[in-house]
């Protein structure tokens, strides 16, 4: 299940958008998140921000995310995030969009993601 999904408003469409959430595996089998889909962006992907020993941060695709039964994985500012590349529309505060998560077993889960302000830090805005 997905908890506390949220996203930040975007300035325009020529920079990627970003969304965060917590994924909790409430089942008895491990699940693997393999990809994202959304009508809002042509190339959504899961990224992770890492900071090297010089304090320089960069980000890149993380590929698959494995979640054991009873475990949860958080996508949050400074860590993993859903990167929404090639936005098809501006992300406007107060609106929501649909994000579909694709799992390795062929299952999908679609969540409505509310869009908060451009400087929001969490699901409370």
Euclidean distance between CA atoms 107 and 91, whole angstroms: 27
Binding-residue pattern over the window 76 to 105 for Cu ion, x denoting contact by CB under 5 A:
-------x----------------------
Applying CB under 5 A, among 1, 42, 59, 92 the residue interacting with Cu ion is: 59
Q: Residues in contact with Cu ion, total (CB under 5 A)?
A: 3
Is 8 a residue that touches Cu ion (CB under 5 A)?
no
Q: Which CB, 81 or 111, lies closer to Cu ion?
A: 81
Applying CB under 5 A, among 7, 23, 47, 116 the residue interacting with Cu ion is: 47
Q: Which CB, 8 or 47, lies closer to Cu ion?
A: 47
CA distance readout (Å), 115 to 8, 51, 69, 93 = 5, 27, 29, 5
- Interface contacts to Cu ion, rule CB under 5 A: 47, 59, 83
């Amino acid at each position: 299940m997905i908890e506390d999904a949220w996203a930040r408003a975007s300035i325009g469409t020529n920079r990627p958008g970003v969304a965060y959430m917590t994924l909790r595996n409430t089942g008895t089998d491990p699940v693997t998140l393999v990809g994202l889909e959304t009508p809002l962006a042509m190339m959504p992907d899961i990224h992770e921000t890492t900071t090297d020993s010089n304090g320089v941060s960069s980000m890149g695709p993380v590929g698959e995310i494995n979640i054991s039964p009873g475990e949860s994985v958080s996508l949050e500012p400074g860590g993993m995030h859903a990167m929404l590349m090639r936005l098809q529309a501006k992300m406007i505060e107060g609106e929501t969009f649909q994000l579909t998560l694709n799992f390795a077993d062929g299952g999908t889960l679609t969540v409505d993601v509310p869009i908060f302000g451009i400087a929001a830090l969490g699901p409370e805005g």
